[in-house]
Chain A
């Protein structure tokens, strides 16, 4: 009996002690970090004092800005560890055919040996990044997820004002608030269609289709004359469907103001404009292709990883994906030369345009220590200016002076790139509000709505006009509930 009691009390004590120990440890940690921060502020003060005595040069160094950083000269004395959180899981594996993260970091360390860079990647990045952002525990650099523009300054530090940064980097307009730039793009993409040249040739298509009719005729020709699937939808992967939204702006309208300005106030943006342009024409291509049997026979079991090899081997005619997909399709098999890229088949007033814009943009944690902020900005600048990342990933160069476009962009000769202008001041968050309230989530993970087009086309459900009418209605009611002015 005694022994039992002893054991019981003993375990109880151990259990409760372990709990106490845990909380103590946490407290200790807190204290440590507190000490650390006070220390850094003290050292900062010390440097402040010396800096005051020194020249303007040091004063310039004080103000951390993208434009002021000279790679290889600025902040070379910093010793720290920064963490980068992003979506490129493939680059974090050793068998990635291109340059891996560890290779980039090793290269970076040749210039900045004292800055250790740790890279964390995530397969469901878009969702997880938002959660991690909220928790604050994500590191120093991340690809900015879909946050409200008004909240940018709570999470990220600015790189400088629009005028200064735009002299050095392209596509910086995505994350601008109050004229401050919060995100530097990792790379830029143009929106077009990746296709297999051999399949198109076999089907007797000699000129690249420029209008929806020509494109559908080309798909029909592929179906009639070859065994290939004319257009592979990638329905099952989900995000590949949301990718269709990327063509709504520049490619379908030729206006740089459409996406962030016109669309917000547009009345019935999804209705037929009668000239094969705008959103209607973009999604109608998909609907007609599916309804006409020009896509794979079972859309519900499409396989994203598998499709890369299939297009490489000539089993697929084409896929609607951004230019970033081009190198992946080339690397997926032995027929890299067969892979081609073309612009989206919409012609506005006799001229073709292509939406071009940034991929994920790097944001720097506003809550990092000063040293880490500096080191992070150095790394971002190195990634855009020196790493060759953009070129390696077949992206449009981000450095404004770099005009070394990868091979794939030769397909865009005579086609004007359109980068979206930012929203008007005060309307930065309108698109987010409309997206959420209408459930359409344009360019923000609205995969379901595009999947819906395929489902209805394949199952002979709603007609295309009915779907578009439904979207118009959702858009209008979202505009109304946020009291956004609608232009007639």
Chain B
């Protein structure tokens, strides 16, 4: 039995033995390692990189402090600026990807024949390594190879087909295609998971009220999974800002496909301008921050009506939880 009488007189040993002290020890012991790892491998390198961004430096050799010159160059360099424009392709791609994923997720969450097989097939690309996907699509898009052959089966004439990786503009669409192919399955699975949690009674009620499937989707499913939709959109937009694997592996950033990351990689490793590349990374971080905040604000605005409906659902759930708790207690 512990008696809480005189707190001041407790020795360190006693304090450590007390319930509070034990809690503190456990908390500290458990937090220390993950925090240490987090600091060592995330915040410390980041701080170093932030420092590098103010220097003109290579990996080897002397470093000179140049102040904000690197940041100035990020905005003045034509190559870097044009690479940012490519993000638009990837953002458009991520919207397409989310629409496809949401559509298929809705389809598959109702009763579908062979639903699980479809889910498996569509999720599969996500399991393949990104570099391997790059190599697959390199041959997929090569003139007269897989894609052209398939299109020829469909009656297209090879003469009329474009060069998928050579024509500027179209090559970015081709690259975005690979990224959509890879990630839509993963988004779909996340959506299915969220849709599963929607109360089936609500569909029944809606059907009784005469709502069709599309109305059910708009008014029941979408508001119920809006958190996961928002999350996926934010992740896809940030992902499209930092697209790297498809252009790096398939085209090596050539022919107008060099995204921000590919340019950054080239500047850091080939041109050895480590300071400039670090500044680019910091600028990208700022862009991602801004994009995320803007999206948050946008969704707050877009879902302001849905909130009311959502509350109904949660309060209903809460009530049911209470009931089940009471039942448990009774048992």
- The docked-state distance in angstroms from the alpha carbon of A349 to that of B96 is 61
Which of A19, A300, A303, A459 has the largest number of chain B CB atoms within 10 A? A300
Bits for B247-287, please: 1 = Cβ < 8 Å to A, else 0.
Answer: 00001111110000000001001111100000000000000
A9 touches B254 (CB 8 A): no
A416 interface residue per 8 A CB criterion: no
Bits for B40-69, please: 1 = Cβ < 8 Å to A, else 0.
Answer: 000000000000000000111100000000
A238's nearest neighbour on chain B, judged by CB, is B252
Of the listed stretches B3-11, B101-109, B161-169, B213-221, chain A binds: B161-169
Interface residues in B152-181 by Cβ distance below 8 A to A read: 163, 165-166, 168, 171
A130 touches B60 (CB 8 A): yes
Of the listed stretches B28-36, B110-118, B301-309, chain A binds: B28-36
Q: Known interface pairs A127-B270, A451-B254. Does A8 touch B171 (Cβ–Cβ under 8 Å)?
A: no
Complex partner residue of A8 from B26, B32, B266, B269, CB under 8 angstroms: B26
The tally of residues in B whose CB lies under 8 Å from a CB in A reads 33
Q: Which residues of A contact B58 (CB under 8 A)?
A: 148, 436
B251's nearest neighbour on chain A, judged by CB, is A300
B270 touches A134 (CB 8 A): no
Write the nearest CB–CB distance from B70 to chain A, whole angstroms. 13
A137 interface residue per 8 A CB criterion: no
Bits for A417-456, please: 1 = Cβ < 8 Å to B, else 0.
Answer: 0000000000000000001100101001111100100010
Q: Known interface pairs A298-B166, A455-B254, A455-B255. Does A439 touch B271 (Cβ–Cβ under 8 Å)?
A: yes
A12 interface residue per 8 A CB criterion: yes
Complex partner residue of B59 from A12, A19, A131, CB under 8 angstroms: A131
Interface of A is mostly: helix
Q: Known interface pairs A12-B26, A301-B142, A301-B143. Does A436 touch B272 (Cβ–Cβ under 8 Å)?
A: yes
B254 touches A236 (CB 8 A): yes
B59 touches A300 (CB 8 A): no
B269 touches A127 (CB 8 A): yes
Q: Known interface pairs A151-B60, A236-B252, A436-B273. Does A300 touch B165 (Cβ–Cβ under 8 Å)?
A: yes
B119 interface residue per 8 A CB criterion: no
- The docked-state distance in angstroms from the alpha carbon of A168 to that of B182 is 57
Q: Which residues of B contact A486 (CB under 8 A)?
A: none
B174's nearest neighbour on chain A, judged by CB, is A300
A16's nearest neighbour on chain B, judged by CB, is B29
Q: Which residues of B contact A127 (CB under 8 A)?
A: 269-270
A441 touches B270 (CB 8 A): yes
Write the nearest CB–CB distance from B204 to chain A, whole angstroms. 43
Complex partner residue of B272 from A130, A236, A298, CB under 8 angstroms: A130
Complex partner residue of B29 from A12, A155, A448, CB under 8 angstroms: A12
List 12 extra interface pairs beyond A16-B29, A130-B60, A439-B271, CB under 8 A: A12-B30, A127-B270, A130-B269, A134-B59, A148-B61, A236-B251, A301-B141, A301-B143, A441-B270, A447-B270, A451-B254, A455-B256
Give me 15 A-to-B residue pairs in the complex whose CB atoms sit less than 8 angstroms apart, sorted by A's number: A5-B22, A15-B29, A127-B269, A133-B59, A133-B60, A147-B60, A151-B60, A236-B254, A238-B254, A298-B163, A298-B166, A300-B251, A441-B270, A448-B254, A455-B254
